[in-house]
Structure 1
């Protein structure tokens, strides 16, 4: 590009490279989604169509951006995790966040008619905001993911009970809030079962656990991989992977199926059986049945 006297304005740009050797989590949230949900009459406490739409947009995004190792979503939010060794966009925060937000929004709008077949979109259109946070250790990252899933459970149990009191119990919002004020999980489960015959354990797993998206390889036996050691060894390597290694890994990731599951990601078993989520090394692609 030719130089010009106006090029000096580039000097006003501020560097925004995220810390090296840290896990990057880009979390997006719907903007004004309470009004948006009311406009399109989302079912309470959960609208399966809306959640399936969020998952479809997130799955398309994870498929397109191979540097995303795992994603977790609930309600109108999604968290996308980049491995600590990623160099995508030179780890520039503005590029990572804007790409995730814009691509997710584009897929959300694109897939809308698939899940809301009789309700075309109209302005104001759905939009999302985003932020990036760096976590220095595997434990920090897992604690973050656990926090989001625990939050999913707490909020869903409350909302399930709240809306049962309104829809089946004839209470208004204020009355339902007063009934639930200060209650514990056991109390809410008792209200659901004794008053409305609802066994919370039988609620759909997507509602209770949220959705986790990742590339699916063959599961391994727990204890056969020391993922933490592998990650530290890679982080300490003076040189990056060779181009051949990167190309081979890229081909493996492209062949892997990107799956949406509703699993417990707090317990060790989920991570132990899927070491590729933390090691950044693609696993073995399952053979076609």
Structure 2
């Protein structure tokens, strides 16, 4: 009786289903990560340890939720694409957003020592999240093209900026002033002429971001049931000839703006 008496409070919970038949993008972004990177002495302009840590956390998320078919990471930001037919948590917005955000954050904390060794975690990182729905393949591709273009713009600026500070002896204010109003070609020229750095030779991880997709790899282990009998039968031979396929999440650093990436992986945008 007591349960029924108080159960009316559930009527105040608002339903929040996401529009069906649309692609779901969940974007997670570090909260006050500039301060976090300063406190933990991240290398500038890019800290590979931190980037690999976030890649690992994103991989954990994709391993846990099969509806995620693609992820893209740059700096302290990660975007996850859920298939159009995703039914995760009955497409409840708050449930999807809160679960993915907390799972990703927890993985970053859990994996910290793997990448930062004896550097203690001074305080836990936090991430905010948002969900965007896209009706068609065109918007999805344009979204991820936008994020990768943003990666290039930000990394080019930061690479030149920190070269001016670390190698050119400028203050941060002077470096910002030097770069004010410069175009992409100007930054390339400045890097090469003053510091002998060819931007295009910099690690693709920094220039293009991290792209996580599912790939099929042969299973690395077998169990006793797969062992062939002492006298092979036709069924046993047929079974043994079929390789086990195990989906795995792989991290790439490639162009996702051009058609080649998408044409080679049509399953990502399949309904």
Same fold judged by TM-score > 0.5?
yes
Match in the other structure for 1:80: 80
Structure 2: distance between partners of 1:156 and 1:266: 17
Structure 1: distance between partners of 2:246 and 2:267: 14
Match in the other structure for 2:209: 210
Match in the other structure for 2:10: 10
Alignment RMSD: 1.4
Match in the other structure for 2:113: 113
How many residue pairs get aligned? The number is: 244
TM-score (ref. length: structure 2): 0.88
Structure 2: distance between partners of 1:3 and 1:20: 33
Match in the other structure for 2:33: 33
What is the CA-CA distance between 1:122 and the residue it aligns to?
2.8
Equivalent of 2:249, from 240, 248, 258? 258
What is the CA-CA distance between 1:217 and the residue it aligns to?
4.0
Structure 2: distance between partners of 1:120 and 1:183: 39
Structure 1: distance between partners of 2:258 and 2:247: 24
Q: Secondary structure at the match of 2:109?
A: helix
What is the CA-CA distance between 1:204 and the residue it aligns to?
0.3
Q: Secondary structure at the match of 1:256?
A: strand
Match in the other structure for 1:47: 47
Match in the other structure for 1:198: 197
Structure 1: distance between partners of 2:128 and 2:91: 19
Structure 1: distance between partners of 2:13 and 2:198: 56
| 2:117 corresponds to 1:126 | no
Q: Mind listing any 5+ residue stretches in structure 1 that lack a counterpart?
A: 219-253, 281-289
Structure 1: distance between partners of 2:3 and 2:52: 49
Q: Which structure is larger by alpha-carbon Rg, 1 or 2?
A: 2
Q: Mind listing any 5+ residue stretches in structure 2 that lack a counterpart?
A: 218-244
Structure 2: distance between partners of 1:279 and 1:203: 34
Structure 1: distance between partners of 2:162 and 2:148: 21
- In 1, are the aligned partners of 2:216 and 2:246 still within 8 Å (CA)? no
